[in-house]
Structure 1
Amino acid sequence: MSRTPLDQILDHLRGEPSRTWSIIITIYGDAIVPRGGSVWLGTLLAFFKALEISDGVVRTAMSRLASDGWLERAKVGRNSFYRLADKGRETFRAAADHIYHPRPPVWSGHFDMLLLDNGMDREAARAALEAAGFGGPAPGLWIAPAGRPVPAAAAEALRLHAGGDAATNRALAARAWPLAETAAAYARFLAVFTPLRAQLEAGAQLSDLDALVVRVLLIHEYRRIVLRDPILPPDILPEDWPGAAARALCAALYRPLIGPSERWLDANGLAESGDPLPPAREISRRFKD
């Protein structure tokens, strides 16, 4: 029997280290939070069965996420329901624009450069700057396209401007951020998911459950890359940068998956009230710039 693009996507997942907990966070952020945030454990077990991940593995991952403060559990009769805790909601809320609506800044022609003082808490400043999208071309030196907000932990750093011609700016960006590794990850994403786009454009149909599986794995893989991407102006990226193609592919696949994947959640998603999960309103706006 010939293998389908969905089989290839699942093979790719199985070839990666076990990340059931990470897929759980993805399905909550992408599909469950827009529908109220809480769902019956049985709904999740049915979803993961399609990934050939056993109930025991899922239950263990859910328990660990609850112990680590990512999920909250509620018991209604004999049924268990889970929702993202504050920690999980804040994490995904902060990531949502980066995933669904990234806005590359306009290149002003120079970088803001921060030089950390020896008297500062350099570890705290480093963590805050990395989270804010700054890159480090040399120890104690941080840069970002001009205008990026400076986190409070680095507010006392010495601020300078830096820049040059197009080649110099690209070379500096390549030293400051791991662009080669990020480009390679985008290339792998394109290789894994492009065959499915070709199949769907040729008229292939997915079941509602398979549509949800693809949607979640699509965002799971894309999220892991785009959250490491500083989203730089195109002017300072390598000329063959694959990030735009990866985003276009993700958007092209995501939009037609919404309908069937939401149908599966309509039919199988159970809220704590005992009613079906409420409909999601805002997801139709995702990937629309």
Structure 2
Amino acid sequence: MTKPNPWFDTAVARLADPQAFKVWSVIVSLFGDLAQQPADRVSGAALTAILQPMGLKPEAIRVALHRLRKDGWIDSNRIGRGSVHFLTDYGRAQSAAVTPRIYDEHPTPASDWHVLIAEDGRAADTLNTLLLTEDYIALGRHAALGSGPLPTECEDLIGFTATAPAIPQWLKIRLFPDDLAQASATLRDAARTISADKPHTEALSTVQIATLRTLVIHRWRRVALRHPVLPPVFHPSDWPEPECRRSVFRLLAALPRPSVSAINDSL
């Protein structure tokens, strides 16, 4: 039985999402951090033990697993009286696609940028396809910002190599909206406070470390995947993400990732 740990309880409360948890999304964060390898299997008991301290009830976990199985993210097998859960090939591919963005402690923005502009009709369709399939950032209904050289297969679009000695405030707000800044600032403050309390990880159980890592990654993922990696000239003057990133990785370093087998075996 896990011993009571007031520091753990306080850390969980500080990392609680200001918005309501979507249980299926938390489970995606958990598997992406702890069980992304093909052989990784998380027991039902371990999954419940990790998620329950967040206030997530077994019934909600079962409903979320059903949704993830239906969507092709997760599969499950019965073993004796229990179950094990694991990412499908599709789930692993989706997790792997965003892993570099989530775990890049020192991202380097591209040095070359370009702008594409479209008219209505076929050109707009071409631009919309690029926004869906490539690393482009919408600047409005008919314009997009992309990294690297101008593409050669977009003859129906107007393209310009972009330089940015100054970025207008309206564009900074569009790229880095207030709600994203608030999410980054609140996570920064929570991670700073928890780290300042000098976590003694030796007093945490394997499952408690997994719970805290899942909470940190879930909150951080919702920041890191929403904003583009752009040079500082594009950032609002008070953009909190760089310090949030430093605080998140400092806390994760104090909570070394446990193996799936260690989590399962601890119960």
Give the alignment's TM-score, normalised by structure 1. 0.76
Structure 1 pair 22–218 and aligned structure 2 pair: CA distance change class (3 A):
same
Structure 1 pair 14–243 and aligned structure 2 pair: CA distance change class (3 A):
closer
Q: 1:177 and 1:130 mapped to 2: Cα distance?
A: 17
Secondary structure in 1 matching 2:255: helix
Partner of residue 16, structure 1: 19
Structure 1 pair 173–19 and aligned structure 2 pair: CA distance change class (3 A):
same
* 1:141 counterpart letter in structure 2: A
Asked whether the 8 Å contact 1:137–1:172 carries over to 2, the reply is no
Secondary structure in 1 matching 2:148: coil
1:49 matched to 2:46? The reply is no
Shift, 1:156, TM fit: 4.9
Structure 1 pair 192–126 and aligned structure 2 pair: CA distance change class (3 A):
farther
Q: 1:88 and 1:245 mapped to 2: Cα distance?
A: 30
Q: 1:46 and 1:11 mapped to 2: Cα distance?
A: 19
Asked whether the 8 Å contact 2:76–2:84 carries over to 1, the reply is yes
Among 251, 254, 257, the residue aligned to 1:253: 251
Asked whether the 8 Å contact 1:128–1:151 carries over to 2, the reply is no
Asked whether the 8 Å contact 1:40–1:81 carries over to 2, the reply is yes
Partner of residue 282, structure 1: none
Q: Within 5 A, what are the aligned runs for 1:1-289?
A: 4=7, 6-7=9-10, 9-10=12-13, 13=16, 15-34=18-37, 36-101=39-104, 103-108=107-112, 111-120=113-122, 122=124, 125-126=127-128, 128-129=130-131, 132-144=134-146, 146-147=147-148, 156-165=156-165, 168-169=166-167, 171=169, 173-174=171-172, 176-200=174-198, 206-208=203-205, 209-258=207-256, 262=258, 265-269=260-264
Q: 1:117 and 1:73 mapped to 2: Cα distance?
A: 48
Shift, 1:85, TM fit: 1.8
Q: Encode CA deviations 1:11-50: one digit per residue, 9 max, x unaligned.
A: 6526522311111001101001148332221210121222
Q: 2:50 and 2:201 mapped to 1: Cα distance?
A: 21
Shift, 1:176, TM fit: 4.8
Q: Encode CA deviations 1:239-279: one digit per residue, 9 max, x unaligned.
A: 43222111111111101201xx517x444326xxxxx9xxx
Report percent identity of matched pairs.
21
* Runs of at least 5 residues in structure 1 that lack an aligned partner in the other structure: 271-275, 277-289
Secondary structure in 1 matching 2:239: coil
Asked whether the 8 Å contact 2:77–2:84 carries over to 1, the reply is yes
Secondary structure in 2 matching 1:160: strand
Deviating more after overlay: 75-84 vs 119-128: 119-128
Structure 1 pair 39–4 and aligned structure 2 pair: CA distance change class (3 A):
closer
Q: 2:163 and 2:101 mapped to 1: Cα distance?
A: 26
Asked whether the 8 Å contact 1:134–1:142 carries over to 2, the reply is yes
Deviating more after overlay: 121-130 vs 189-198: 121-130
* 2:187 counterpart letter in structure 1: F
Q: 2:188 and 2:152 mapped to 1: Cα distance?
A: 34
Secondary structure in 1 matching 2:55: coil
Q: 1:131 and 1:218 mapped to 2: Cα distance?
A: 28
Give the alignment's TM-score, normalised by structure 2. 0.82
Secondary structure in 1 matching 2:128: helix
Q: Encode CA deviations 1:224-247: one digit per residue, 9 max, x unaligned.
A: 111001011123323432221111
Q: 2:15 and 2:133 mapped to 1: Cα distance?
A: 28
Partner of residue 3, structure 2: none
